Amino acid sequence: MRVLVVEDERLLADAIAEWLRGDAHAVDLAYDGASALERVGVNDYDVVVLDRDLPLVHGDEVCREIVDGETAARVLMLTAAAEVTDRVDGLGLGADDYLTKPFAFPELAARVHALGRRCRPAAPPTLRRAGITLDPARREVFRDGRYVPLARKEFAVLAELLLADGAVVSAERLLEKAWDEHADPFTGAVRLTVLKLRRKLADPPVVETVKGAGYRIR
């Protein structure tokens, strides 16, 4: 998934991003509300992890803009306030979920994963196609019963291809969902990752290149 983390405490923001990247998500960062709105206006996010108390533009206003805009992003609001009224206010703004600080990173990651599932068509917990089995929760992949160790980007690309259920997925879509905003679209990163993925999945080949369109799993 593509996730935006908006948090003005930079060490916390970086730690959240690193944890989510460990789950094979593409993560962008914003340290204030104005930067968050700029990124939301440009990128297609699945989930926005949003601190409520932000400089420049308050988190409440950022949440309103996301909810009222055309984006399908889900909002997980973070706050140091633990009062019930604060949580109710946050949800009343349109946030999809609410987490008070301090929190456990595994819980945050689980909530992000759950919200990401809401913004897509319902998918089974385990993805299967062409002899491939991918378990997102355990981050495990098997091909015809054989365990296939994958790097983060390889896992993320394979998940997108399996979610497409045989449809073609463009390189631009894969770049958007598996890499962050700093990725250079001209580096051939997607092509190289698909090449490594093919090698690890072994024969018979299942990842097909559709010239001028993208990739699919037959």
Alpha-carbon 171 to chain mean position: 16
* pTM, entire model: 0.63
Task: Count CB neighbours of 172 within 10 A.
Answer: 11
| pLDDT tens, the chain, 218 aa long | 889 999 999 999 999 999 998 888 889 999 999 999 999 988 889 999 999 889 999 999 999 999 888 778 899 999 876 555 655 665 677 888 988 888 999 999 999 988 887 765 545 578 889 999 998 878 899 999 899 999 888 998 999 999 888 999 998 888 887 876 666 665 688 889 999 999 999 989 899 999 989 999 98
| Closest CA relative to residue 61, chosen from 45, 50, 73 | 50
Length of the chain as a residue count: 218
